[in-house]
């Protein structure tokens, strides 16, 4: 059974029949795409971590806790 993965990479192109220089260009382009994708993931995770940490700062915990607790 094929296990689904969470990879978003587009289907790999068969470039084995391309000339050598074209193959290298294709490889470089794929690496650049992969790098851009990895950077986007790192940036997204960093933003999420920053927002999460903002919840845990003492001032914020106090403010939110008061506001949430006073609802009940």
> Token pair of 33, please?
């795409």
Residues engaged in binding another protein (CB under 8 A) = 4-6, 8, 48, 51-52, 54-56, 59-61, 63-72
CB of 52 to another protein, least distance (A): 5
Distant-in-sequence, close-in-space partners of 27: CB < 8 Å, separation ≥ 6: 15
Using the minimum distance from each CB to another protein, give the nearer residue, 21 or 69.
Answer: 69
Nearest-approach distance from CB 38 to another protein, in angstroms: 16
Closest to another protein by CB, 18 or 32: 32
Whether 36 contacts 28, CB under 8 Å: no
- The minimum distance between CB 28 and another protein, in angstroms, equals 22
What is the secondary structure of 2-28 as a DSSP string? PPP----PPPPP--TTS-HHHHHHHHH
């Amino acid at each position: 059974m094929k296990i689904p993965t969470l990879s978003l990479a587009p289907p790999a192109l068969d470039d084995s029949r391309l000339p050598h220089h074209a193959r290298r260009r294709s490889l470089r382009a794929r690496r650049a795409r992969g790098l851009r994708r990895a950077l986007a993931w790192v940036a997204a995770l960093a933003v999420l971590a920053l927002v999460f940490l903002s919840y845990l700062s003492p001032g914020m915990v106090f403010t939110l806790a008061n506001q949430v607790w006073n609802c009940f």
